[in-house]
Every structure is written in structure tokens, then in C-alpha cells.
Amino acid sequence: MSELRLNVITREWVVIATERALRPDQFKHESSAQVPIIFDQACPFCPGNEEHTPGELLRFPASRDWQVRVVPNKFSALSKQTEQNHNHEGLHHSVSGYGLHEVVIESEMHNHFLAEQSLSAISNLLQTFKTRFIAMYEDPAIAHVTIFKNHGEDAGTSLIHPHSQIIGTPITPIQIRDRLDAGKRYFEDTGKCLMCATLADELAEQSRIIFDTTHFTTFIPFAALSPFHTWIFPKRHSACFADISDDEITELALHLKTILSKLYSGLNNPSYNFVLRSESPRASEPECFHWYISIVPRLSRPAGFELGSGMYINTSIPEDSAAFLRNIIV
């Protein structure tokens, strides 16, 4: 029988539709054969085409044979050149489109997906995320920085070449504010971090754990909002990604590679989005939030019920999905 589960971190209800649930292997993506291209003359992100991107912000290593580059987004959603102002006219509130929008080119190879990259390459990427995350917050007008990746057509990607994006906005998005509010209420009631408590519960139960090491745990939450929706939590309480240590970056790279490789192998390279959710380095109440990475394979689409109710229907059982991924050897 189906049941409704509450995601205590997002404060969203989800219907775990057990009677409509598919077997985990039925979510496999119908991928077409790929040509082994490592360079595309028409791709602005490939080596040799650097002049086709805006002025470079960072290159690693700092040589001709780079592995990671960061450039301003040529089609930026926000602009640093915009005057900063807030407008209030009755119930019409707006903020000028001031902000920062950067592209992180993850590899010099045109179709070398993140799941296929080495641990050292992923570590370098995470270090690049940290560097640019801190740099964006040096602008006092930036209230929140979002690091995210779109992989595959169903996830909204427009260029095959592996890349991520970082956007700094002058406001804090509602999803982060909702999570902060939930964390504050829980801390006021218990004196504990909600995310730390969630992780402790998951580790005690074990049924939704996919991968566990010294510093991080990868798991499917009890009330996963969609099939194979996965979280990577640091075990050390930290509100801000900027506080991550070099040792933790190395281990986080292992978790990211492991889960993306399992999804790649087990579900035939599905489209996915990942988002790094973090407080600002200027956080006034760091005890109430805990940064983490959310990975959302695009295996289902919201329909009328989701749009009309704000509730999700998940046709996978989190415990079965976690067991499926645990058993995939990568």
C-alpha cells in the first residue's frame, strides 16, 4: 500500500507509490550509442577554442594544457554591470538583475563525463568550486551562491562538453530559506542540527545508505522526492562549503565519482542535475544549517498532481533503489 512520507529537511510531502512502483532496473535510460569524440572543432569549451569564451577567470593547471577552466557565462542570467536597486510599488517587489554567472569547464575532453573522470580530476574540480564560491561571496551584494550541474538533455544541458555553473544572486532563494527555517525550528526545539540528526538516523537504520566513509555518507533520503534522488552529507557539522578541508575534498571526490558511476552503469547514463546547497560564509546562525550535495536523476516528470498540490509522487521505493545502487560494482 502506498504511503505519504514527510521530508523533514525540505518540508515537502511525497507519495511513495508502492502499488505503482517500478523495479529499480526498469528506470534504465534508453541511451543511444555515442561516438568516441574527444575534441569538437565547433565546441567553444574544447582546447584551442579558448578565444570563443569570455575572459578567463581561472585555469588549472595554469598552463597551456589545462584540465579545468572558469569563464563568465556568455549568456549570463545576471550581470555585474547592472545597477543595484530594490523596487517596491504596492505589492510589486523587484530587485535589479545584479549578480554573477560563471561556467566551470570540467575537462579538456569534449565528452568525458564526470563519472568517467579520475579522482584527482574531480578533486581539482571541487577545489575550483571552493575557490570560486569564496570569490563570489567577496562581493557584499551577493546574498547566495548556487553551484550546480546539468547533465543530459532531460536535465537542461545545451552543450555536451562537461561543465558546471555557479550563480551568485542578490537574494537568498526560497528553497534555501525554507531549509534554514526548518533547521532553526529544529535547533530551537532540540539544540541539535536537523541535518546531523537526519544523518544519524540514516546511519542507524542503514537501509538507504549507498556509500559510507570517514567524512561523508551518500544515501537516498527516507522521503526522496523522485526516483533515485540522492544526497551526499558531510559527517562533520559545517554550514558552509567554504570550510571544507583538503582531506575532505579528496573523500568527497570519491563519493561523487562513486555515485555518478553507479548511476551511469546501473541506469545507462541518465540525465541528472546536482546542486551544492550551502550557507554563506557570512552565516549568522551556522549551527542551524549543514551543507550537502543533492543529485536528482531525471527519471520522471512532474505532472498535474505535483503542480496542483506541491506534493511529489515517487514511483520508486527509496530502500529498494539504495539496495540496487549498493550492489553495482564500479
Return the C-alpha cell found at 11. Answer: 518540508
By CB neighbour count within 10 A (0-12 exposed, 13-18 middle, 19+ buried), where does 36 fall? exposed
List, in sequence order, every beta strand (DSSP E) within 30-151: 58-60, 68-72, 86-89, 92-95, 100-105, 144-151
Reference 175, options 279, 76, 297; nearest CA is: 279
CA pair distance 328, 330, nearest whole angstrom: 6
The catalytic residue among 110, 163, 215, 290 is 163
Strand partners, 4: 15
Confirm whether pTM is higher than 0.75: yes
Q: Which three cell numbers stand for residue 285?
A: 546562525
Query: 269, 29 in Cβ contact below 8 A?
Result: yes
237 is catalytic: no
- 8 Å CB contact between 322 and 207: yes
pLDDT by residue, tens only, the chain of 330 residues: 789 999 999 999 999 997 777 788 888 877 655 556 788 889 999 999 999 999 999 999 988 899 999 999 999 999 888 888 888 889 998 988 999 999 999 999 998 899 999 999 999 999 999 999 999 999 999 999 999 999 999 999 989 999 999 999 999 999 999 999 999 999 999 999 999 999 999 999 999 999 999 999 999 999 999 999 999 999 999 999 999 999 999 999 999 999 999 999 999 999 999 999 999 999 888 999 999 999 999 998 888 998 899 899 999 999 999 999 999 998
What is the distance between the alpha carbons of residues 157 and 167, in angstroms, rounded to a whole number? 16
Inter-helix orientation angle 246-266/119-137, to 10°: 120
CB 181 within 8 A of CB 160: no
Q: Which domains does the chain have, with CATH numbers?
A: 3-326 (3.30.428.10)
Which residues, 6 or more positions from 243, have their beta carbon under 8 angstroms from its beta carbon?
none
C-alpha cell at 94: 523587484
